[in-house]
Amino acid sequence: MIVGIPAELVSGEDRVAIVPADVPALMKMGLQVVVEAGAGMRAGFPDAAYVERGARTVASRTEVYAQADIVLKVRAAGADPGHADKERAMLRPQQLLIAFLEPLWEPRLAASLAERGVTAMAMELIPRISRAQSMDALSSMATVAGYKAVLIAAASMPRMFPMLMTAAGTVTPARVFVIGAGVAGLQACATAKRLGARVEAYDVRAAVKEQVESVGAKFVELPLETGSSEDKGGYAKALGDDFYERQRKLMAEVVARNDLVITTAAIPGKPSPVLITAEMVAGMQPGSLIVDLAAERGGNCALTRSDQIIVAHHVTIIGPGNLPATVPNHASQLYSRNLINLLRLLVKDGKLTVNMDDEIIRESTVVHDGKVVSARINDLIGAGTPVASS
């Protein structure tokens, strides 16, 4: 069987699905590897590096799709709506496509892959269970995003992060507040702490207090009844307008006393909850900064604009999109390893087996043998969910 690695087409998407160092792992599974020429170049992986590890390069993506039994990508279908029709036309029955597909945001684009008779697996649907941790690409990419968010902030703030004692006087440390203590939030806390800032963090899940403190941050406790804040797959779920309104009122004081606020709250398949209102921004000190990691889905700040930097009430608000792609070398290495670990479930002795009795495979498979097999996607389509604009 042949694994195909096409180049990514989304503007600014510099990651590649498989890095050269992981080609031997695929070959040990009994697979051959075909890479589109230049696919890894933007991430720092030249064609020669793939060839040295045993892969073949071909001149065009058409050749990749024509030869491959398994196609591995970073973004496809709803995660690349501008090229979805063209790529779908290149797929053929019985092929396996694995990528970020955004099936909860664009269910019809994901479901349209069924027309080609392929099997398609969405990396963002990997369940958050212990056995699947090594395949959890959302967590891998969140690690990169949390790290990069702090660096963006450090380069943009009008003050330095650490406390400095100099002959000219003492420089007080920056105060940083991270909202959301998932993978991205914890990495942001750790990075800001390493740079010398005083770090606070909040999460609706009180159980993460120990994790926050383990990276050197102080956990902010708000008197709120959160109930169950996770779905059965381990992902955050919406808690209702009344909850968010109470949360905003209690959080306003914490936001106002910090120089930098990093927000990370995202709900799969839904717009990001607004946690910081325009009034809260107005209450921040002039020169303060907000980095909103939920910008691609509307943002956690009411004033956020995706992929833009705006200034309101003398506060700078940065809404970066697709931060992992701005660190493509290491992001690709992490994502590639996630794919390798998933393929070890799917490929035995060089043969592909999609075992729907396996929870990881069942939960992440969107279409199989020409049918939508994901209950979540079928529910969205049945409810008449419109295709979201991207």
The active-site residue, picked from 60, 94, 131, 133, is 133
Our answer to whether residue 337 is catalytic in this structure is no
Could you give the count of Cα atoms lying within 13 Å of 265 in the half-sphere of its Cβ? 26
DSSP string, 265-317: ---TTSPPP--B-HHHHHTSPTT-EEEETTGGGT-SBTT--TT-EEEETTEEE
The active-site residue, picked from 235, 244, 259, 288, is 235
CA separation for the pair 36, 60 (Å, rounded): 6
Our answer to whether residue 139 is catalytic in this structure is yes
The active-site residue, picked from 95, 112, 139, 333, is 139
The active-site residue, picked from 14, 80, 136, 292, is 136
264 C-beta neighbours (distance < 10 Å), count: 29
Our answer to whether residue 92 is catalytic in this structure is no
Our answer to whether residue 65 is catalytic in this structure is no
The active-site residue, picked from 56, 67, 108, 128, is 128
SS3 138: helix
Q: Quick check: 7 and 36 in contact, CB under 8 A?
A: yes
Please list the alpha-helical segments (H only) found in the chain.
23-28, 47-52, 61-67, 84-90, 107-111, 137-156, 183-194, 209-214, 241-256, 278-282, 328-346, 359-364, 375-382
Our answer to whether residue 128 is catalytic in this structure is yes
Could you list the active site residues? 128, 133, 136, 139, 235
